[in-house]
Each structure stands twice: as structure tokens, then as C-alpha cells.
Amino acid sequence: MRLIESEFAARLASGATTTCLCWRLTRVDGFVLAATEHDRALLVDGVTYSPGGALSAGSFTQSAGLQPGQAAAGGVLADEAITEADLAEGLWDGARVDVLRVDWERPDLFVQVWSGRLSEVTRGPGGFEAELVSLKADLERPVGRVYARACDAVLGDARCGVDTGGFPGLACDQRFATCRDVFGNEENFRGFPHLPGAEFVLEGPAATGNNGGKR
């Protein structure tokens, strides 16, 4: 839920049309670009937003659950700080985007309407175009490894270590027996072949020989 100051809420409820969007883009290397769609610079919460840059936005969507909200944006991205060379090198990939709705007559009155990241920036017919995804998308990234009997490496990659040139035409089915007997690479097997399966967990206590833990 967004918290809006009562004074700002009252101005919005009155139908005042003195608001604009301000964009703050923060690259992964720490560089910050602050721009506004308004025609003059605005000082908002200690940050100066320059006119004539940032993005021209479509709609922003949020969800009550964990599903990532999305935004469609495109067009301007015309600030001099955003160059084609930087885009080609991927410097803006993954940059954080914070969008504020600001009263340009009273820049001390504002509300943050959306936060997310640039997932893809491309060159379109009308200028640079950007795809944005909300910060909830970070929760979908896999963290750590999945415990499974099969190997999760790719035959011949750095984690596998097999020289595929010595095994022309052979494929790997990610089983421990194949890794050991065909490629002789059991030391680099990236699975857990001795992991108990579901049948072991569901088997329950033995019908005979169970003394209830007595010594």
C-alpha cells in the first residue's frame, strides 16, 4: 500500500493537474540518472531531476501476490548520459528504476508509484525502447543448487571438465553410472546419486526388528 501525505492526497482529490513523473535510474555500477517529463528541473527528496530525459511510460501493474508486476516503456530515453555505446555494452541492463509522481508546484509532495529494473533495452523505430519488470522478479531467480540424483552440469563445460574431443558423437544422460563408466569422470559428477528417493522416505518403520529405540 502506498502512503500518500494528506495534503498531497487532498490536491489529487481536487483534480489538480500539476503532477508529473520523475524517473531515477541507478546502474549496477552506481551511476544515477534522474530525469523528469516536466519542462524544468525539479528537486525532489534531495535529488535533482533534469528535464527532457528518462522514459515515456505506458502503464504500471502490480500484483498482490508474488507475481512480478510489469511496465511498458519506450520512446524518449534521450538523456545525453544514455549513449548507444553504453547500451551496446550492457551498462544499463538490470538498472534499477524508481518512478515518482510529483507535484511540480510543490516538489516536496510526491509518492513513489513503481520500482523495478530494466530487463532489456533495444533500439526501436521511435528511439530507445525498454522492457521493465518489478523488483518482485528478483524472488523468481534460482538461488543455490537443486538436490537431485542427476548431474546438473553440461557435458564439456567448466563444471563437468570432460574433454569432449575424446568422445566424439557421445552424449551424456546425466546419470552417475554414465559419468563413471563411459567418461571416467565420477569425481566431477555434479549430482547426488546416493540421495534417498521418495520411496525411502515413505517406507516407514520396519515391520520386524523394531524395538522402539530400546538399548
The residue among 19, 25, 11 whose CA lies nearest residue 37 is 19
The residue among 83, 110, 87 whose CA lies nearest residue 4 is 110
Interval 26-73: pLDDT, tens: 998 999 989 888 889 999 999 999 887 656 554 454 444 434 444 544
Cα distance between residue 100 and residue 25, in whole Å: 12
The residue among 191, 180, 96, 76 whose CA lies nearest residue 138 is 96
Residue 200 — pLDDT band, cuts 50, 70, 90? low
Q: Cα–Cα distances in Å, from 63 out to 60, 66, 114, 137?
A: 10, 7, 12, 12
What would the mean pLDDT of 113-141 be, rounded to a whole number?
69
State the DSSP code for 149.
S
Q: Which residue has the higher pLDDT, 115 or 4?
A: 115
Coil, helix or strand for 21?
A: strand
Pull the grid cell for residue 112: 513513489
> For the purposes of burial, counting CB atoms within 10 Å of the CB of 166, is it exposed (0-12), middle (13-18) or buried (19 or more)?
exposed
pLDDT averaged over the chain?
Answer: 77
Asked if 99 and 107 count as a contact pair (C-beta separation under 8 A), the reply is no
Give residue limits of the domains in the chain: 6-139, 142-200
Coil, helix or strand for 127?
A: strand
In this structure, whether the domain defined by 6-139 belongs to CATH 2.30.110 is answered with: yes
Interval 145-197: pLDDT, tens: 778 889 999 999 999 999 999 999 899 999 999 999 999 999 999 999 988 76
**Residues in Cβ contact with 154 at an 8 Å cutoff, skipping those fewer than 6 apart:** 160
